[in-house]
Structure 1
Amino acid sequence: MPPPPAKWKGKCELKEACNNKVIGARNLVASGESPADDEGHGTHTASTAAGSAVQGANALGQGWGTASGMAPMAHLAIYKVCGEQGCPDSAILGAIDAAVGDGVDVLSLSLGGDSAPFYEDGIAIGAFGAIKKGVLVSCAAGNNGPTTGSLSNEAPWILTVGASTVDRQMGSTVLLGNKKEMDGQTLFQPKDYPSKMLPLVYAGSSANSSGVYCAPGSLNKLDVKGKMVVCEMGGEIKRLDKGIEVKSNGGAAMILINNVANGFTTLADAHELPASHVSYEAGLAIKAYMNSTSSPTASIMFKGTVIGKQDAPQVASFSSRGPSQASPGIMKPDVIGPGVSTLAAWPVPLENINNASGPIFNMISGTSMACPHLSGIVALVRSAHPDWSPAAIKSAIMTTTHLTQISGKPITDEQGLIADMFDMGSGHVNPAGASNPGLIYDIQPDDYVPYLCGLGYTNAQVSTIVQKKVECSSNQSISETQLNYPSFVLQLGSQPLTFTRTVTNVGKANSVYKVEVYAPNGVEVKVEPKEIVFNTLNDKANYSVTFSVKNGTSQRFVQGSLFWVADGYSVKSPFGIIVD
């Protein structure tokens, strides 16, 4: 790694750990205390964004290979903002201000809270200050999915990241006594496990009402010794704690079955006993088998690292969903990226590692894992285009996404249904495409003022966000959909609605873009002009889009996309329409 750049002004409060990779470390939540990570979340996310390449990386023997962050040659600066009392706004705002002042180029925030007006949202306020200095902030969408309208970090100047699966699983197959097999996942796969048939017992048979979830202390009066125990997701019990409860009562193995909300999303966890996390559909089959016989049995067969699942990417069940509550006319999340069973660095030995030596890795899941994937990609795009604004980088990522799985079929949600824009935003990130998008939708910090006034905020509230005095009466307010965003969300009644966008050519000089529109049934979408000619780089052009109801539609929400297509480029803008 090269030394820190000349512009770097930060400091390290963890001197023994700083080097040319980690060039800064500060504790903003407890002044004077170490910023060291003793829990794992920060180490995992930082290494995902910009960890150096490590050969032979694995977690409990799974996922062997060379692990690398998305931007392995980037420097890292760490700002601790969470402690025993949570993550106070004062620490978050202080960290963002410090980071921007220190000279960082990208901010990655794998944290968030409940939806709030932007003038009450510390992350939104801090992120606005960052973009004024040219620093894009990438944030986790939250883990409250699949509930509608559950996401965090909704401001349009933030890159809001949802989570998706990848084509890799840590295979753990359940073989039932009726010879049927159910594929699942687990990280802990002991080599000496005999995979023999064991008596199968349902944790819900416990007299304890929380037994079905294998809650701590709930299996004390249920005979599970030497048996395979079927536990259900939920009950506000951590997945690893369910296995600990089974093991502490003498259980030999565990099958963790999804509830309906989690659908097909399964996770590779470092359980403390042989286990398999299976889908809701598989869980129904397992329970049906158990009800069909007086002596149900099952075994678990470990399959190791399985590559090439054709239904990836899929939106993870936990990934928080739109629409935004704070600003319903802005599409959120913006994008999805890998966030299920992500392998990355870990600061402490895992519970079931014996005689650990060398670097430690763990697999965990969440939008916290997806966020740093995007943060690293933002760093790569910024490195390639140091003159681009935060909005330009964000636009490049959003307009170049993938919409299909490896199989070629549309990306689905956790139920196997085609994902919509409130599940996945503009789609799954395409790192290679983001550096060469063709066109961008740019927004300058001052452009957000009419938008904020249009939300009905007072002068004082807008001033709090943009950190300068604002008089909304002297600014022409605009609706959310009038912001020069790379997507459209609108409410459409009997009268047509027209919106204008400005695109900037960052692809090739002397290029011609033609529009392609994919409109839903019952809605007419007209774009003018249908062709845009750019003579030079950085030329700007305007186009208008008119939406109107055509012959009515029985659907309350419909969506489509428009593409500006030129040689080698396809610039996508999704639109979602709520039909009155």
Structure 2
Amino acid sequence: MLAAFDDAIADGVDVVSFSIEGKLPAPYFEDAAARSFHAMRRGVLTSAAAGNFALFGGCVCNVAPWMLSVAASSTDRRLVDKLVLGNGKTIVRASINIFPKIEKAPLAIPINGSCGTESLAGQSYKRKIHLCDRGSNGTGPLLAGAAGVVVVTGEPDIAFAFPLPALAITQDQFTEILAYVNRTCKPVGTVHRTEATFDSKAPAVASFSSRGPNLISTGILKPDLSAPGIDILAAWTPVSSNLKGNRFATYNIISGTSMACPHATGVAAYVKSFHPDWSPAMIMSGLMTTATPMDPALNPGGGELVYGAGRLNPARARGPGHLRAVTGNNATACPAGGKRGGTADLNYPTMAHRALPGKNFTVHFPRTVTTVGAPGSVYTAKIVSSGPFIRVAVAPRKLVFSRLLQKLSFTVTARGALPAGNEFVSAAVVWSAGVRHAMANLGLRRFAIA
């Protein structure tokens, strides 16, 4: 893996797509973070997966400030399947089912509750729909001659593929099905084929997508942004494995931050094609400051700690108007002299601060921007959603650019005190000049002290 970074740099690539992640972040100068640092020094941006461990106690990984950390979010297309019970009740959930509809097949619960191959051996479950509350990939029911399978999953927003007609449901839905089975003499169900429907709640970050905070440097907000990573049509090699049930194809439906990361990689390459002289930090800034804001109500768990600067916006990314870029010694997220801390003055597109509950704080975030838009642009700052617990100010409130590539500075100051029950407070500074808008997100989080 590390040699692949060196080869990519030697080959002269502009962007490295790094869809490898873990449960927790590694130190900055180990393994991939170290190689991506060398790539950055040679003008190569590394776009990396944020991680798939939110449901297993993990935190966002690939958090080095020179890496673009990408969370996974939904699109407005949702793949759903339906199980219609004999009493007319319809259970709807995300699923991939390309098989013909099963009409009124008997519902069966395995004797010991397991749908494993060994547990089903010797039992009569042919032409029945198996109800599996312990999870199953469908292999056991398939070998037992089942007509279909209903499986409980902890990731209800993902459409799973099975080797037979199937539906992946929540525990609550499974309990509802059991109630019908227990009060019915001959319970039956009908499994429909998958349909593509419109998801009005999109984009929403995936349940599995690893959240912040950044455990290495709490003053650097991670993930950086979100991109499509749920039910993505992706290339698939038939050499690696089949799609279950001896079905081979050159494509598949895949979910994960490893699907979101290539979207960001592609947009980064797209931006680079218009601006070949832009550095990796400039491209990161272009992507992050033009991201589309996301609704925190649809993304519980900490606002920007879930989705970063927002949803990747390819159309706006290539013309952000002005940019912030990590430069000089601060590229290592360390202040001059090598002392610990000091991330607030890192010229990063977003801002974060660790605050203790009930304690007054004041923090300053100095930033320098470079205009890449039309000369004569005048940007005015607006504070968005700072809430009652903090006060956010920007000085100066207006930036007047007289020439291309001119550098101007401003400082964002946040002060206040977070209550004990408030885990996360966020705000945003939006710089506007006509139709151009660039956003700088600010996240303030209360951390428990172990």
Counterpart of 1:278 in structure 2 is 169
2:243 is equivalent to residue 380 of structure 1: no
Deviations 1:406-465 (A, max 9, x none): xxx66724xxx486112111111111111111221101253224x33x6xxxxxxxxxxx
Distance 1:232 1:110, change over 3 A: farther
2:426 is equivalent to residue 543 of structure 1: no
Matches within 5 A, 1:203-282: 203=110, 206-207=111-112, 211=114, 214-220=115-121, 223-232=124-133, 242-259=137-154, 262=155, 264-269=156-161, 271-282=162-173
Shift of 1:278: 3.0
Deviations 1:287-320 (A, max 9, x none): 443344354321111143x142212222111111
TM-score, scaled to structure 2: 0.90
The separation in 2 between residues aligned to 1:551 and 1:426, in whole angstroms, is 22
Shift of 1:199: 1.9
Shift of 1:186: 3.3
Segment of structure 1 superposing worse, 382-391 or 221-230: 221-230
Shift of 1:478: 4.8
The answer to whether the Cα contact below 8 Å between 1:522 and 1:551 also exists between their aligned partners in 2 is: yes
Q: AA paired with 1:339?
A: G
Shift of 1:249: 1.8
Q: 1:484 aligns with which of 315, 330, 347?
A: 347
Q: 1:574 aligns with which of 437, 441, 448?
A: 441
Shift of 1:556: 3.2
The separation in 2 between residues aligned to 1:346 and 1:384, in whole angstroms, is 30
Counterpart of 1:80 in structure 2 is none
* Structure 2 unaligned spans of 5+: none
Q: 2:398 aligns with which of 531, 548, 558?
A: 531
Q: 1:508 aligns with which of 330, 354, 374?
A: 374
Q: AA paired with 1:490?
A: H
SS at match of 2:55: coil
The answer to whether the Cα contact below 8 Å between 2:289 and 2:438 also exists between their aligned partners in 1 is: yes
The answer to whether the Cα contact below 8 Å between 1:331 and 1:488 also exists between their aligned partners in 2 is: yes
The separation in 2 between residues aligned to 1:557 and 1:365, in whole angstroms, is 28
Counterpart of 1:314 in structure 2 is 204
Counterpart of 1:63 in structure 2 is none
Counterpart of 1:393 in structure 2 is 283
Counterpart of 2:103 in structure 1 is 196
Matches within 5 A, 1:30-429: 92-119=1-28, 121-147=30-56, 149-190=58-99, 193-203=100-110, 206-207=111-112, 211=114, 214-220=115-121, 223-232=124-133, 242-259=137-154, 262=155, 264-269=156-161, 271-304=162-195, 306-348=196-238, 350-352=243-245, 360-404=250-294, 412-413=298-299, 417=300, 420-429=303-312
The answer to whether the Cα contact below 8 Å between 2:94 and 2:167 also exists between their aligned partners in 1 is: yes
The answer to whether the Cα contact below 8 Å between 2:73 and 2:229 also exists between their aligned partners in 1 is: yes
Q: AA paired with 1:219?
A: L
Deviations 1:330-371 (A, max 9, x none): 1111111111121122221644466x7xx7211111111111
TM-score, scaled to structure 1: 0.70
Q: 1:443 aligns with which of 326, 335, 350?
A: 326
Counterpart of 1:556 in structure 2 is 423
The answer to whether the Cα contact below 8 Å between 2:23 and 2:58 also exists between their aligned partners in 1 is: no
The separation in 2 between residues aligned to 1:225 and 1:131, in whole angstroms, is 58
SS at match of 1:526: strand
The answer to whether the Cα contact below 8 Å between 1:231 and 1:242 also exists between their aligned partners in 2 is: no
Distance 1:98 1:127, change over 3 A: same
Distance 1:202 1:510, change over 3 A: farther
Give the aligned length. Answer: 440
The separation in 2 between residues aligned to 1:342 and 1:399, in whole angstroms, is 25
SS at match of 1:496: strand
Counterpart of 1:41 in structure 2 is none
The separation in 2 between residues aligned to 1:528 and 1:120, in whole angstroms, is 35
The separation in 2 between residues aligned to 1:180 and 1:116, in whole angstroms, is 45
The answer to whether the Cα contact below 8 Å between 2:25 and 2:59 also exists between their aligned partners in 1 is: no
* Identity over aligned pairs, percent: 34
* Structure 1 unaligned spans of 5+: 1-91, 235-240, 455-471
The separation in 2 between residues aligned to 1:164 and 1:233, in whole angstroms, is 26
The answer to whether the Cα contact below 8 Å between 2:327 and 2:347 also exists between their aligned partners in 1 is: no
Shift of 1:528: 1.0
Deviations 1:103-125 (A, max 9, x none): 11110111133435525530100
The separation in 1 between residues aligned to 2:58 and 2:429, in whole angstroms, is 25
Counterpart of 1:3 in structure 2 is none
Q: AA paired with 2:271?
A: V
The separation in 1 between residues aligned to 2:339 and 2:193, in whole angstroms, is 62
SS at match of 1:98: helix
Shift of 1:526: 1.3
